[in-house]
Amino acid sequence: MNATIKLEKKHFPVLLDELISIISPHYGGTFIDCTFGQGGYSKKILENKSNKIIALDRDIETQKIANQIKLKFGDRFNFENKKFSEISQLNCSKHKIKGVLFDLGYSSIQINDPKKGLSFNHNGKLNMCMGINKFSAKETINHLDEKSLQKIFKHFGEEFKSKTIAKKICEFRKRKEISTQDLVRIINYVKKNNKKKIHNSTKVFQALRIFVNQEISELINGLINSFKIIPIGGIIVVVTFHSIEDKIVKFFFKNYSEKSSSSRYLPIISNENRLFKLNKRKPIIPSNTELNINPSSRSAKLRYGIKISNKSDFSELIKKFSYLINIENMGNSL
């Protein structure tokens, strides 16, 4: 029984071997680990004594793990409690930056922490704040208007019952403040005939987590600011876990890399605004071996690009996903 519990709490860095094989040709400098978490990537990279790490994480709880790594690796490791959109605030003048890494997943330790309120299996107040937040899921559910809630559930969770769920939430909260299990019961009532395998609450809870932590604007600004901070030849690696993240990352790399002609019969059109060289245009996914060890890695996709230009007009990226950014901005009213 105890062994089972330990296994469930163990953290597995996703696509670790693949990530290391991609960045190892760039060894001999500083890598910025934008989503430090349990430190899996950082520790592996620091095994090579020519490397240094600047680690970022908005979750202050990760400071405990960072302190342990600092004791072992000394000046080759530094940690800052920051959101990765704030990467441009780092003092990198003394560092030879070689790459920036993002693992956008949440660890089982974070999901199972009742204080964070990320799981629909826990009782108590809604939270979902990962740190340095402006508002919580509790404020969102209990104060945002019906139309806004519907947009969040529809666009961030791809919830087909978004309209009905938003309506029932607004009716219920007239009687009492909504807790985690209240929200689960509302969703179960609306989706009582749902025969799909995933839990009824999965999509709504995903949507709330994205909204509360401003994950869309965080990712877009994190990618843009990472590009600005690395030199030509530097690498950006991103591991995503849901379709919205992957759409953004895919567009970021492919739209700003080589572009083909609209017709296969015409020559490839050169683009002076190319920013990345892509060695792989398709995402890297976990092997069967990794899936057997860590089934939660099944939705992971790794994409990466190597910087080839200092030009940095990302207006197309912002324009393409402006509708999602606008939904996040509804939180400014809370």
Check residue 12 and give its pLDDT: 80
The domain 2-109+215-312 is classified under which CATH number: 3.30.230.10, 3.30.70.370, 1.25.40.10, 3.40.50.150? 3.40.50.150
Check residue 312 and give its pLDDT: 86
CATH second-level architecture of 134-212? Orthogonal Bundle (1.10)
Quote the pTM value.
0.91
pLDDT along the chain (334 residues), means of 10: 39 92 98 96 98 97 96 97 96 94 81 64 82 96 98 97 98 96 95 83 95 97 97 98 96 84 47 86 96 93 97 94 98 94
Check residue 223 and give its pLDDT: 98
Neighbours of 51 (CB within 10 A): 22
Alpha carbons 124 and 180: distance in angstroms, whole number: 6
Q: What is the residue extent of each domain of the chain?
A: 2-109+215-312, 134-212
Check residue 10 and give its pLDDT: 56
- Residue ranges of alpha helices (H) inside 33-129 are 40-46, 63-73, 108-111
Alpha carbons 124 and 126: distance in angstroms, whole number: 7
The pair of structure tokens assigned to 12 is 């597995």
Helix (H) or strand (E) holding 146: helix 146-157
8 A C-beta contact, residue 125 and residue 138: yes
Alpha carbons 115 and 258: distance in angstroms, whole number: 45
SS3 at position 218: helix
The pair of structure tokens assigned to 213 is 């932590």
Check residue 72 and give its pLDDT: 97
